[in-house]
């Protein structure tokens, strides 16, 4: 089953904070500087569920959290119910427009004002007039559609069940209520929670999987993840984790005892190198993310324009031309983005190496290195060998590696060296591997891929084709996949046929836009995965190497060895979680 990434990262972060606090207490470290929660001093993110009574909100919350909650069981409930869940907060509001308790609407609106995500729940029966008015008040008048996920629940009660055919019928039915927004823009999800809970009890693997698919659970979770990514909600988890990482580094340094000023100065130069590498990595990921977001949005925009133009065509040739034009735009965008991403990473890595080179060539660093070398040469005359011999032994290997400015400047491989020497995969190769079909666009191989993506779904074609079949004489054109797309816009004389054609047109337009949206999301995810893998293979090992060297110096002393090992483990977990958050 799919995982709600925001909750998964929040849970991991909360566990890390708790584990770190316990370790600090165990080894006698001050815990006052640790973040209070995964959100620091901020309030937890709130997921607010709104909707009418009996829409099944409690079942959705139970499906999402795995916890058996009894929410809204009585219409007399006067307050919203808050449920902490893995670091975030689930809020169930009183039912709206019950007519029995009109004050519930005010309670609901109060919770909405604090929501990071609104889950608006209705049943398979669609919007009643009052619920439709309430939805438009929120989405249109109060401009909250951007924070909303629309859920159609109780699909097991629909005539055909929770299947694409039934979903399309309901989509067309609610179109007038949700306009000008599309189902995709509202992350429309169809749920059959009964099938989900049945799947949890089913022992047969095949039957369990069928029930899970019918429930719509994974599509719902995927929509929530897309919402979180689009709204950058993960960013709120980063600041406390950066604070935790810094406190862990400070704790590791504090464990080093009887350390001379020269040794401390040398350690600080290593830490400063690590900081420069870390800052360079963050800048690189930030720049790549900015480019990926820009091109993702441009692909979505191309899709919106292409769908609008295509759905206004009256002839097949016009429609094909519109699709081809959209295809070319996407090809050009992805080819352009690939070049820009490569150039961005090249510049970031080159700038990082130049900063390190200048730092290691500085008079201060050269003096520190000289003093450490003298200390190593004089170690046989040290009086307190027991206390510092382990440190100096560890320093011997570190100084050999880091006292040469040119050697240190090459710690992070230059982009050209990575590609030329095979020390890791360059971002160009990683992009080609990660983007798969997208990478072929540069060499002109995208036509078949995008054409396949833009082909309307078989069910839409089947529905439109069936309508044309009944009216073939009136339309006077051959039927087929192309007719099902562009024939909708022929001149219809009968008002009822025109209305049906308009419904089909909207459905196909939405279908085309959704395909472009999927392509844009896939492009963004794979670009970020490629950048993350580049960092993982070429920069993170250098950071870890520096971290390891610093730890080796510290663990050369008897005191604090166990504590530092624990803090190192927590630090790596924290850095891994930060990288995971940055690449989602």
Identify the structural domains of the chain with CATH numbers, from first to last.
46-230 (3.40.50.300), 257-443+527-582 (no CATH), 452-521 (no CATH)
Residue whose C-alpha is closest to residue 91's, from 122, 66, 60: 60
Q: Distance (Å, rounded) from C-alpha 53 to C-alpha 78? A: 13
> What is the biggest distance separating any 2 CA atoms in the chain, rounded to whole angstroms?
106
Distances (CA, A) of 423 to 74, 541, 542: 64, 12, 12
Q: How many CB atoms lie within 10 A of CB 451?
A: 13
Q: Cα separation of 150 and 108, whole Å?
A: 16
Q: What does each of the 584 residues of the chain score in pLDDT, given as a tens digit? A: 678 888 889 889 999 999 999 998 887 788 888 998 887 767 788 899 998 778 889 899 999 988 765 544 443 345 677 888 888 888 888 765 545 444 445 545 666 777 889 999 999 999 988 899 989 998 998 889 989 999 999 999 999 999 999 999 999 999 999 999 999 999 999 999 999 999 999 999 999 999 999 999 999 999 999 999 888 888 888 889 999 999 998 887 765 544 567 778 888 888 898 899 889 999 999 999 999 999 999 999 999 998 888 888 777 788 888 888 888 888 889 889 888 988 888 888 888 888 888 988 899 988 988 887 777 666 544 333 323 334 445 555 555 555 444 443 344 443 333 322 333 444 555 555 544 444 343 333 333 433 444 444 444 334 433 433 333 333 233 223 333 444 444 444 455 566 777 787 788 888 888 888 888 998 898 888 888 888 888 888 888 888 887 777 766 554 566 787 899 999 999 999 999 888 76
φ and ψ at residue 153, rounded to 5 degrees: -105, 170
Q: In this predicted structure, what is the pLDDT of residue 68?
A: 67
Residue 126: exposed, middle, or buried by beta-carbon count in 10 A (0-12, 13-18, 19+)?
middle
Long-range Cβ contacts of 211-216 (<8 Å, 24+ apart): 212/1, 214/161, 214/162, 215/63, 215/162, 215/191, 216/155, 216/162, 216/189, 216/190, 216/191, 216/192
Phi, psi of 212 (to 5 degrees): -65, -45
Cβ–Cβ under 8 Å, residues 257 and 37: no
pTM comes to 0.49
For residues 9 and 38, give the distance between their C-alpha atoms in angstroms, rounded to a whole number: 9
* Helix (H/G/I), strand (E/B), else coil: 151: strand
Query: Residue-wise over 206-224: b if at least 16 C-beta within 10 A, else e?
Result: eeeeebbebbbbebbbbbb
Closest among 147, 148, 169, 146 to 158, alpha carbons compared: 169
- What is d(CA 60, CA 149) in angstroms, rounded to the nearest whole number? 13
The token pair at 314 is: 């009256």
Distance CA 41, CA 43 (A): 7
pLDDT score recorded for residue 469: 37
Gyration radius (Cα) of the chain, Å: 30
- Beta strand 46-51 with 117-123: parallel, antiparallel or unpaired? parallel
Task: Report CA 319 to chain centroid distance, whole Å.
Answer: 34
pLDDT at 396: 52
């Amino acid at each position: 089953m799919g995982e709600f990434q925001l909750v998964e990262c929040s849970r991991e972060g909360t566990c890390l904070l708790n584990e770190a606090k316990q370790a600090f207490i165990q080894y006698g470290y001050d815990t006052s500087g640790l973040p209070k929660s995964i959100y620091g001093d901020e309030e937890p993110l709130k997921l607010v569920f709104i909707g009418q009574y009996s829409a099944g909100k409690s079942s959705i919350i139970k499906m999402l959290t795995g916890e058996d909650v009894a929410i809204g069981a009585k219409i007399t409930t006067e307050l919203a119910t808050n449920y902490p869940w893995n670091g975030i907060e689930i809020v169930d509001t009183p039912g709206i427009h019950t007519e029995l308790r009109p004050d519930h609407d005010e309670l609901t609106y109060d919770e909405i004002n604090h929501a990071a995500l609104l889950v608006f729940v209705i049943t398979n029966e669609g919007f009643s007039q009052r619920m439709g008015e309430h939805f438009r008040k929120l989405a249109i008048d109060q401009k909250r559609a951007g924070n909303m996920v629309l859920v159609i629940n109780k699909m097991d009660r629909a005539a055909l069940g929770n299947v694409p055919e039934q979903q399309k019928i309901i989509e067309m039915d609610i179109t007038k209520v949700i306009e000008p927004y599309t189902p995709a823009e509202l992350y429309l999800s169809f749920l059959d929670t009964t099938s989900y809970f049945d799947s949890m009890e089913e022992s047969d693997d095949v039957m369990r999987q069928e029930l899970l698919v019918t429930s719509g659970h994974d599509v719902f979770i995927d929509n929530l993840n897309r919402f979180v990514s689009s709204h950058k909600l993960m960013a709120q988890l980063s600041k406390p984790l950066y604070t935790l990482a810094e406190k862990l580094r400070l704790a590791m340094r504090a464990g080093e005892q009887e350390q001379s000023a020269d040794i401390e100065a040398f350690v600080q130069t290593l830490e400063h190198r690590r900081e420069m590498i870390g800052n360079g990595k963050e800048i690189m990921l930030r720049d790549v993310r900015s480019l990926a977001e820009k091109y993702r949005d441009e692909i979505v925009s191309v899709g919106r324009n292409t769908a609008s133009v295509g759905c206004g065509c009256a002839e097949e040739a016009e429609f094909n031309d519109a699709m081809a034009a959209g295809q070319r735009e996407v090809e050009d965008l992805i080819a352009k983005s690939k070049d820009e991403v490569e150039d961005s990473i090249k510049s970031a890595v080159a700038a990082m190496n130049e900063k390190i080179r200048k730092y290691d060539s500085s008079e201060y660093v050269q003096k520190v290195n000289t003093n450490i070398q003298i200390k190593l040469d004089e170690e046989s005359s040290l009086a307190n060998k027991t206390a510092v011999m382990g440190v100096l032994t560890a320093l011997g290997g570190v100084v050999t590696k880091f006292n040469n400015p040119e050697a240190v400047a090459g710690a992070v491989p230059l982009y050209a060296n990575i590609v030329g020497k095979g020390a890791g995969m360059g971002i160009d190769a990683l992009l080609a591997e990660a983007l798969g079909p997208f990478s072929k666009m540069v060499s002109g191989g995208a036509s078949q891929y995008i054409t396949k993506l833009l082909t309307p779904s078989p069910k839409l074609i089947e529905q439109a084709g069936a309508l044309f079949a009944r009216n073939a004489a009136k339309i006077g054109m051959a039927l087929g996949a192309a007719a099902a797309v562009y024939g909708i816009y022929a001149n219809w004389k009968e008002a009822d046929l025109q209305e049906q054609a308009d419904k089909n047109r909207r459905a196909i337009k939405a279908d085309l836009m959704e395909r472009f949206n999927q392509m844009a999301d896939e492009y963004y995810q794979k670009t970020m995965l490629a950048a993350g893998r580049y960092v993982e293979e070429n920069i993170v090992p250098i950071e870890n190497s520096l971290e390891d060297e610093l730890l080796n110096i510290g663990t050369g002393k008897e005191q604090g060895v166990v504590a530092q090992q624990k803090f190192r483990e927590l630090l790596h977990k924290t850095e891994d979680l930060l990288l995971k958050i940055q690449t989602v």
